[in-house]
A = this chain, B = another copy of it.
């Protein structure tokens, strides 16, 4: 059972999830300079094919196109969930200023393929499309639950990015509140729309395409760029050319173009930064704003090349030592990783 607690000094909610303290760390200690040998199967990995009994049951899956008795993408509940269904969402005061609620929500895992060692950037395009299809379907289903405010899709790659299982996977956490950082983001977008009559994300995408210096790659449906205000070195955003407030409202017909650009951009990052640890975030408007034109869903890829230090934790103000214009130039020059 987890709890949400409210911080009266900031307006943040946080999750207390003591069950997660017992989850195993299976990442080992690979040094970054060692070439990673490709291990397609690890008999001890709970996400590998054949070990399905070690995980919670399948929620959704895509079959292997070559053998329908096998899965090629599999979505399950997280075995050590930060939030769980069927908890109550009433807030209670446990003392003056001490507000908390049960940890209602969802915490799920999408296993990207049966292959233990194949990174998303190295998957065939059709497999990445299947991953996106399952994420899209699940986001649609979770978006219908009126007790879930935000459906946050993300991916941690590498232990420095917070991953505890090396088998490539995405995660989904759906929360019963709108976290303050997101609330500010959505309010900023709503304010911008009220003033200008257009979405700040549409304008930003247009301005980055016009400035051209930070564009990394693009295709008919998506644009990838290192944003003007990049918080981390080699931060990359992918924005759809066709605006929609949430990922599940994106046109399914554009998912192959997204898969192609994702493989391209992640391949460039691997080539330039030698397979960096990274987080990938899919930003969507919360359920209560999903009918508004203010926000445009988008992907943020954040390589984790340095540890945040005291100044960043204290102020929320990033210190980025690499100009995004330089990062974009280097990413444009290289494509896939050398063999």
Contacts and interface: CB of A to CB of B under 8 A. Distances in A.
Interface stretch (A46-54, A129-137, A185-193, A215-223): A185-193
B154 A318 contact: no
Contacts of A184: 10-11, 180, 184
Overall SS of chain A's interface: mixed
Contact of A161 (B21, B179, B203, B309): B309
Contacts of A152: 311, 314-315
A211 interface: yes
Q: Which size class do A's interface residues fall under?
A: 35 or more
A329 B302 CA distance: 37
Interface in A14-62: 14-21
Given A184-B10, A184-B11, A204-B8, A161 B18 contact: no
A15 B159 contact: no
8 contacts: A10-B188, A14-B319, A97-B204, A150-B315, A162-B306, A162-B312, A181-B315, A182-B314
Interface of A: 5-21, 82, 95-98, 150, 152, 154-156, 159-163, 171, 173, 175, 179-182, 184-185, 188-189, 192, 200-201, 203-204, 207, 210-211, 227-231, 279-281, 283, 300, 302, 304, 306-323, 326
